[in-house]
Amino acid sequence: MKAEFENRVEAGRLLAEKLQHYAGRKDVLVLALPRGGVPVACEVARSLRAPFDVFTVRKLGVPGHEELAMGAIATGGVRVVNARVVHDLKIPAATIQKAAQHEQLELERREAAYRGARLPPVIADRIVILIDDGIATGSTMRAAISAVRQQRPSRIVVAVPTAAPSTCEELRHEADEVIAVMTPEPFYGVGQWYQDFAQTTDEEVRAMLAWTTPKPAIAAS
């Protein structure tokens, strides 16, 4: 395999090849972590012939070094803290709380922007495939796993085009299955494995959701 993906669409097609054992199953639900995970998940959902939606998670970046995650929050009031980063950098609880409050506003904005009047999909008793464009520290994905687990899925599958090898192994203790197209070493960041890593816009997310899921997802009773 070549050392990098052309873009998220190509990455999604390659990831879909590794998920074909879930193709055509009626109990599969593909959930994308917006925004970067949406183009990847869109390709996977089309290939697997599975319903597709977003699951909103926000990273809590270290002040001054926002690319480094000290934790994350997700839909449902879930907060995950990266204990190692917090300990090593001696980050006070007040700093984490302030970041969480700030990101909560953006999380709510995205929920409204992407979902609109659509109700969330049913997760209970379904195989949920959580997709992002890559995993570095894993804080964002851990928040997603924790939030999804609370809704009693039958299985949680983490699927990404690229991931840090150590983080990938750690996530195997939290998800039922972890699939990655490549786990290169050394791993400095997700963007280094893409030729085109341009930011996905809100408009693109809405367009992909509208095209892939023209009918509203089944609402929970």
Tens digit of pLDDT for each residue in 181-190?
999 999 989 9
Tens digit of pLDDT for each residue in 58-89?
889 899 988 788 988 888 788 888 888 999 99
Domain residue extents for the chain: 8-58+106-200
Determine the topology of domain 8-58+106-200 in CATH: Rossmann fold (3.40.50)
Orientation angle between helical segments 37-48 and 8-17, nearest 10 degrees = 40
Q: Other C-beta atoms within 10 Å of 12: how many?
A: 27
Q: Which of 176, 219, 161 is nearest to 13 (CA)?
A: 161
Q: Other C-beta atoms within 10 Å of 179: how many?
A: 19
pLDDT for the residue 150: 85
- State how far the Cα of 149 lies from the Cα of 54, in Å rounded to an integer: 16
Orientation angle between helical segments 93-115 and 202-212, nearest 10 degrees = 50
pLDDT for the residue 1: 59
- State how far the Cα of 221 lies from the Cα of 149, in Å rounded to an integer: 18
Tens digit of pLDDT for each residue in 114-173?
987 788 889 999 999 999 999 998 988 998 998 899 889 999 999 999 999 999 999 999
Looking up tokens 């699927």 gives 159
